[in-house]
């Protein structure tokens, strides 16, 4: 057996596995939480744990939801990390990207992003990423948010519905060497 097969943590075997746009009988090998092999069924990939997917089920790739409002910290009673990510996992979503506006503070500075990350610790059932917010007066915060790993920026040209995330009265989009960034002026 080749070296990657000897170091697998998990093998999923099924007659109906969606891979590369085709449903076929496959074995899926996982190491350190990453899919490292997709082989025809019968290759006998070996791992510490093997799961036989029932014939009536289809093994699908995990979904990514790029627009989720986790309102923690500040409005956890609306939806917090524990409930949002459990619900995502139950629906086959493996990654959510949190929108920046409904938490207090909103994710418009690197410090606010740190607060969001701290609030999420120990509460996640799926992977979580973050959007940053572009609001009047925070154009200097956009590059630090980008450097901290936000996936993009959201702004509103009409009222957002929450006072903590004001609309941009005028927005100028400009290309920088690092990313597309919104700079706002009141």
Confidence class for position 6, pLDDT limits 50, 70, 90: low
User: pLDDT tens for residues 20-52?
Assistant: 899 999 999 999 888 999 999 998 899 989 999
Position 5 pLDDT exceeds 60: no
Q: What is the pTM of this model?
A: 0.71
| % residues pLDDT > 90 (the chain) | 73
Calpha distance 75→127 (Å, rounded): 21
**Residue 145 CA, distance from chain mean position:** 16
One domain, residues 19 and 110: no
On whether residue 79 sits in a domain, the answer given is: yes
Average pLDDT rounded to a whole number, residues 106-112? 97
What values do phi and psi take at 4, rounded to 5? Answer: -60, -35
CATH code for the domain in which residue 181 is found: 3.20.20.140
One domain, residues 29 and 78: no
Q: Which domain holds residue 179?
A: 63-185
On whether residue 57 sits in a domain, the answer given is: no
Calpha distance 144→139 (Å, rounded): 10
Position 144 pLDDT exceeds 50: yes
On whether residue 81 sits in a domain, the answer given is: yes
One domain, residues 44 and 130: no
One domain, residues 100 and 152: yes
On whether residue 90 sits in a domain, the answer given is: yes
How many domains in the chain? 2
One domain, residues 74 and 17: no
């Amino acid at each position: 057996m080749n070296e990657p097969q000897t170091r697998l943590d998990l093998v999923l075997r099924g007659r109906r596995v969606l891979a590369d746009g085709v449903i076929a009988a496959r074995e899926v090998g996982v190491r350190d939480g990453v899919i490292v092999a997709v082989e025809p069924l019968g290759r006998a990939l070996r791992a510490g744990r093997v799961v036989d997917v029932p014939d009536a089920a289809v093994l699908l790739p995990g979904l990514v939801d790029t627009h989720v409002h986790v309102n923690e910290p500040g409005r956890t009673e609306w939806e917090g990390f524990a409930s949002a990510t459990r619900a995502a996992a139950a629906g086959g979503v493996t990654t959510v990207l949190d929108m920046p506006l409904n938490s207090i503070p909103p994710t418009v500075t690197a410090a606010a992003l740190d607060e969001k990350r701290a609030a999420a610790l120990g509460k996640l059932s799926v992977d979580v990423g973050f959007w940053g917010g572009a609001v009047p007066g925070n154009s200097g915060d956009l590059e630090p948010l980008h450097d901290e790993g936000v996936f993009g920026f959201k702004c509103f040209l009409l009222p957002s519905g929450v006072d903590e995330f004001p609309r941009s009265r005028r927005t100028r989009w400009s290309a920088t060497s690092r990313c597309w960034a919104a700079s706002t002026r009141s």
